[in-house]
Structure 1
Amino acid sequence: MMTFAPTPIPSRTQYVLEAIKHGILTGGLSPGQSLVETELAAQFGVSKTPVREALKTLAGTGLVVMSQYKGATVRMVDADMAREVYDVRLLLEPEALRRSITRNASLEDARTALVRADEAADQAERSLANREFHRALYLPCGNPLLARMLDDVRDQAALVSTVAWAADPSWQREADEHRTILELALAGDADAAARALHEHIDSFVQRAFPEQTEEDQA
């Protein structure tokens, strides 16, 4: 039986994709900002083709919105979008961590990511390190499909964090919570670690995007 390998992304497209993604996830490119193909092509010294392909890929991950009339823009973040993304994380991530712990998986990558976050020179580096911390907790869960599902929302979750931190730089509180989660995980207490992770994720989105009361909405 003939099988087909996935088509690799051309190197120029990958370069442009990673550069745009980094700009979005570190706040260099703001939500709602237009992403003009000709300008990006000139900036990166490439033709419009790799830029166009990179933007299509980023639209597939939820970081970019493609419109027939407005072209490509960085995705806007609002309370509904944030809660949708974090609801997926609440459903899946604590269970993935529980499974990682019960499998006695190594969590050294999570410890390394914590150190990187503590030593980060700026918010951009800290945000990227925090993403790696969470991924290191769920990646060794033993279920590749579960890990991929969480990978699919991690960029959008990072975009939410970037926007929330711009309004309220609560990264130190999250760093303390990360240490608690890792301590529980390394101690082998799967249930307590999963509960701490659930509370960590839930409390962040509630602080950053609090529910409006009917009176507030009036």
Structure 2
Amino acid sequence: MPENLGRPQRRALTEWALESLYDLVFTGELAPGDDLGEEELRTRLGVSRTTISAALRQLEADGLATVAAANGRRVVASFDVADVVELYTIRAVLEEFAAHHAAVRVTDEQLRRLGELQSEMEQRSATHRDPHRRDFEVDFDFHREIARASGMARIEACLSPLWNQTHAVLRHAYFRGVYADRTEDAAAYHDHREILAALTARDSDAAASAVRRHLEGRRDQLIAGIRRVTEG
């Protein structure tokens, strides 16, 4: 069972089981294609069959699990280049829109929080080079804060499953040495600083453009890394 997750009261058990499954996927303990057998996971997490069934259904709805055509069993989803293109293309449209609106609505407290998240992200990447330990969650917190600053809750709701799927893609790509070395980290963090500067200036057009450049640039680098490994 994932560490740092205390078992909650019954009313939150399904949510806890789902978060535990997320953690197993994001840390690579459950890799793409791994079987998601209800009985094994129920025993592993110490929950009822009803609870694990509900959590797995939600994991599938979020795009992190799929049904294998060969045997009809639920497995951890795999993502190819076409999936990466789709994820980042949709994210670019939604997050560009969110940033455009966030620039005129963002509060000083949210700007401060974005700066803190960026600093934390850079500190983590400088110290965690073990592929078993790399965590992209703070990166997505940065993007989530911008979506919240837009003042439109449905934007965050639409983006949440896309962020989860992207997180899984990045985590496994990093584990395989495909993506996010120090050079790529530096490029991504430069992008983030440009986004933060545009938001601080309350410049909607600049914020929207900076977000789109960031996502399209990171998409292209990720695809190049995947192709280098799979085709080289």
1:30-109 to structure 2, matched below 5 A, reads 30-67=31-68, 69-105=71-107, 106-109=110-113
> Does 1:168 pair with 2:168?
no
Whether 1:110 aligns to 2:114 is yes
Instruction: State the distance in 1 between where 2:120 and 2:157 align.
Output: 24
1:158 alignment partner in structure 2: 167
Partner Cα separation in structure 2 for residue 37 and residue 20 of structure 1: 12
Deviation string, structure 1 residues 178-212 (Cα, Å, up to 9, x no partner): 122212221222222221111110011111114xx
Residue 119 of structure 1 aligns to a residue whose secondary structure is: helix
Cα 1:126–1:108 change in 2 (3 A) is farther
Q: CA deviation at 1:164?
A: 3.1
**Unmatched segments (≥5 aa) in structure 2:** 1-9, 225-230
- Please list every run of 5 or more consecutive structure 1 residues that lacks an aligned counterpart in the other structure: 1-8, 211-216
Summarize the Cα distance change of 1:42–1:172 in structure 2 as closer, same or farther, 3 Å threshold. farther
- Residue 197 of structure 1 is matched in structure 2 by 211
Q: Report the counterpart of residue 148 of structure 2 in structure 1.
A: 139
Q: 1:29, 1:171 → 2: CA distance?
A: 25
Amino acid corresponding to residue 202 of structure 2 in structure 1: G
TM-score (norm 1): 0.83
Aligned equivalent of 2:13: 12
> Does the 8 A contact of 1:38 with 1:48 survive in 2?
yes
Alignment-derived partner of residue 4 in structure 2: none
1 CA distance for matches of 2:31 and 2:22? 11
Displacement of 1:110 in angstroms is 1.9
Partner secondary structure for residue 73 of structure 1:
strand
Q: Which residue of 1 is the match for residue 6 of structure 2?
A: none
Counterpart Cα distance in 2 of 1:201 and 1:23: 26
CA distance in 1: counterparts of 2:33 and 2:151, whole angstroms: 38
- Residue 49 and residue 114 in structure 1: after superposition, are their counterparts in 2 closer, same or farther (change >3 A)? same
Secondary structure of the residue aligned to 2:136 is helix
Q: Distance in 1 between matches of 2:208 and 2:12?
A: 39
User: CA 1:96–1:145 in 2, change beyond 3 Å: closer, same or farther?
Assistant: same
Q: CA deviation at 1:33?
A: 1.4
Q: Report the 3-state secondary structure (helix = DSSP H, G, I; strand = E; otherwise coil) of the residue aligned with 2:202.
A: coil
Q: Deviation string for 1:139-170 (max 9, x for gaps)?
A: 12122222322223211121222233331223
The number of aligned residues is 205
3-state SS of 2:29 partner: coil
TM-score using structure 2 length: 0.79
Amino acid at match of 1:42: T
Deviation of 1:67 after TM superposition, in Å, equals 4.3
